[in-house]
Amino acid sequence: MASTIGKRFGGVLSDELHALEAEGHVRNFAANEVIFSAGDPGDGFYVVESGMVRISAVVGRNEPRVLARIGPGDFFGEMAVVDDAPRSATATTEVETRAFFLGRDKLLRLLEQRPNLALNIIREFSGRMRSLNQKYVDEIVQAERLAVIGRFAGTIVHDFKNPLTIIGLAAELACSDDTSPPMRLQAQNKITRQVERMTNMLQELIEFTKPSGQRPKLRRLDFSRYMNPLAEEVRPEVAERGVKLLLENPPPKVQVHIDPQRLSRLFYNLLNNAVDEMPEGGRILLRFAERDDALQIDIQDTGRGIAPEIAESLFRPFTTHGKQHGTGLGLTICRKIVEDHGGRIWAASVPGKGATFSFTLPLSPAED
């Protein structure tokens, strides 16, 4: 028996090994036999001589989880002995097992008399806890990864809903025998734009998961020539949900460096968020102003405003409040788009009186 214990307590002196042998005795267990259950009194300490013992506990929704498997030379049952508390887990043999048992009182007496023995048990116990902690950290990381995948899937489903509806209606119109050639062409253009929009959404999600992704390719454009067609395209979409889109002033004819597709994704996110906050209908006001060397765009709605509990974390990933769909990635992607364009984004709100999202785009210097 001394050789078995010596595998685990290699640093303990031989007289301490003899003391363990003299104070304890061997117990034999059949396969699948419960040695002790969670809640039992901590009556003693075990060292496995041969066989295998499974340590398990009930966690979460009453689901048993295997915490460790104890093989020859390893020990178990020390925690309840040391802290004089009931067993926190259940020990069950997986095969026929032979174990050395030392009663609680005898173990505590030996620990008082032989500090080296106590030190070795503490070291082994500490190592086991570190291993167990790492196991749970790994499981938590894996669970979070799976949760992120689920959230991404939810985001895609939510964001694809409107484009797919438009595609379906346009396809139905295009296939109708009564549709005129101009209307058929209009339906075709709608389908093309929505497919591009969905492709861009997927690309944004890919870029979000890859922080080292390439920066967007910006090109110099007249902002008014970009903004006016976009507003005309979005206006009927939001009108179908009882929301009126208004421009307080015409988009200025200034030069900006933008990626049109990505900037459109920003507008779609902000406008759809505003519409979601106005289930009974309302108004969205677009406002444009040149401020120093930047163009500021304000998107103001007449909705419920920003919930105070999420105001500080509004642009962080997965921040959402009161929505049945979506994960809160939309505003995080908005911030990334704005920052990739060299601007900044912020929000202001009075609960119950609507919200205003503002962002800037740097103005391009005049060409010679």
Summarize pLDDT for 104-153 with one digit per residue, the tens.
Answer: 887 777 777 777 766 776 676 666 666 666 666 666 656 666 666 666 66
Rounded CA-CA distance 129/109 in Å is 24
Q: Which residue has the higher pLDDT, 16 or 290?
A: 290
Instruction: Answer yes or no: CATH 3.50.50.60 is held by domain 2-113.
Output: no
Quick one: pLDDT at residue 5?
47
Burial class (CB in 10 A: 0-12, 13-18, 19+), 87: buried
Residue 35 CA, distance from chain mean position: 40
Amino acid type, 155: T
Q: Kindly report the backbone phi and psi dihedral angles of residue 293, in degrees, each rounded to the nearest multiple of 5, phi listed first.
A: -105, 25
Tell me if 304 sits within 8 A of 279, measured CB to CB: no
Residue 30 buriedness (CB in 10 A; 0-12 / 13-18 / 19+): exposed
How far apart are the C-alpha atoms of 367 and 167, rounded to whole Å? 41
Taking a C-beta distance cutoff of 8 angstroms, is the pair 253, 222 a contact? yes
Lowest mean pLDDT among 83-97, 109-123, 253-267: 109-123
Whether 128 contacts 114, CB under 8 Å: no
Task: Tell me the per-residue pLDDT of 2-52, one tens digit each, with 9 for 90 and over.
Answer: 444 444 444 443 455 555 666 778 899 999 999 999 888 888 888 888 999
Position 141 scores a pLDDT of 58
Secondary structure of residue 63 in the 3-state scheme: strand
Give the N- to C-terminal CA distance of the chain in Å, as an integer. 92
Whole-number average pLDDT of the chain: 79
**Most confident of the following: 158-167, 312-321, 356-365:** 356-365
Phi–psi pair at 97, nearest 5 degrees: -135, 140
Question: Quick one: how far is CA 303 from the chain centroid?
Answer: 28
Handedness of CA 221, 224, 229, 230 (dihedral sign): positive
The partner residues of 58 in beta bridges, in order of sequence, read 64
**Which token pair is 208?**
């979000």
Which residues, in sequence order, are bridge partners of residue 358? Answer: 298, 346
**Which residues touch 186 (CB under 8 Å, ≥6 apart)?**
none
Poorest-pLDDT segment among 91-95, 102-106, 166-170: 102-106
Task: Quote the CA–CA distance of 186 and 163 in Å, as a whole number.
Answer: 15
Question: 70 near 55, Cβ under 8 Å?
Answer: yes
pLDDT in tens, 205-232: 666 665 544 567 899 999 999 999 999 9
pLDDT at 323: 55
pLDDT at 102: 83
Task: Confirm if 107 and 44 have CB atoms less than 8 A apart.
Answer: yes
Measured CA to CA in angstroms, residue 93 lies from 1, 76, 279, 313 at distances of: 20, 12, 60, 50
How far apart CA 164 and CA 198 sit, in angstroms, is 9
pLDDT at 13 (0 to 100):
38
Class of domain 219-362: alpha beta
CA distance 25 to 1: 10
Closest by CA to 157, choosing from 368, 350, 327, is 327
Q: What does the pLDDT read at residue 52?
A: 94
pLDDT at 319: 59
Q: Pick the closest to residue 5 from 36, 43, 44, 46 (CA basis).
A: 46
pLDDT of residue 125: 66
